[in-house]
Amino acid sequence: MEIVSRAAAAAVVGSILALLLRKYTPELSLTLSLVTGVVIVWISATVASRITDLLRRLAENGALESIYVSPVMKCVGIGMITQLASQVCRDAQQGSVASAVELCGTLCALYVSMPLIDALLTTVEKLL
């Protein structure tokens, strides 16, 4: 609860300050909004660490196989980084750079999830 309120306060303050700077120094306004995003993700990382700890423990106990969990978590991380970067590029009105970053993120996510597809294929081959 207090994490959400801290994140919300940081978001509102950062947005208002970025709005103040937009007219005079647009590049610093963009940097400020980027920093606000980074701070908010950093605040929420404490929650994410608990979740990943739980998943890691499940994987160690054998409830979940780590070969299946690891691609999912990696995809989440790739998605977070890609989203942050592409939204900043879009704020700077550089849509083409944003799409390039998103394309790279998509390809990397596909590459990371290749073991899952491979496992599915092996299962199907075993069935046939």
Partner 1 sequence: MDVDLIFKIAAVGILVAVLNILLSRSGRDDQALMTSIAGLVVVLVVVVREISALFDLIRDLFGF
When asked if residue 80 is in the footprint of partner 1 (CB under 8 A), the reply is yes
Shortest Å, Cβ 43 to partner 1: 8
When asked if residue 12 is in the footprint of partner 1 (CB under 8 A), the reply is no
User: Which amino acid would we find at residue 84?
Assistant: L
When asked if residue 81 is in the footprint of partner 1 (CB under 8 A), the reply is yes
Measure the CA dihedral 15/17/20/26, to 10°: -80
The whole-angstrom separation of Cα 119 and Cα 72 is: 14
Shortest Å, Cβ 53 to partner 1: 9
Stretch 42-61 residues interacting with partner 1 (CB under 8 A): 42, 45, 48-49, 52, 56, 59
When asked if residue 69 is in the footprint of partner 1 (CB under 8 A), the reply is yes
When asked if residue 34 is in the footprint of partner 1 (CB under 8 A), the reply is yes
Q: Using an 8 Å Cβ cutoff, are 104 and 82 in contact?
A: yes
Shortest Å, Cβ 28 to partner 1: 4
When asked if residue 106 is in the footprint of partner 1 (CB under 8 A), the reply is no
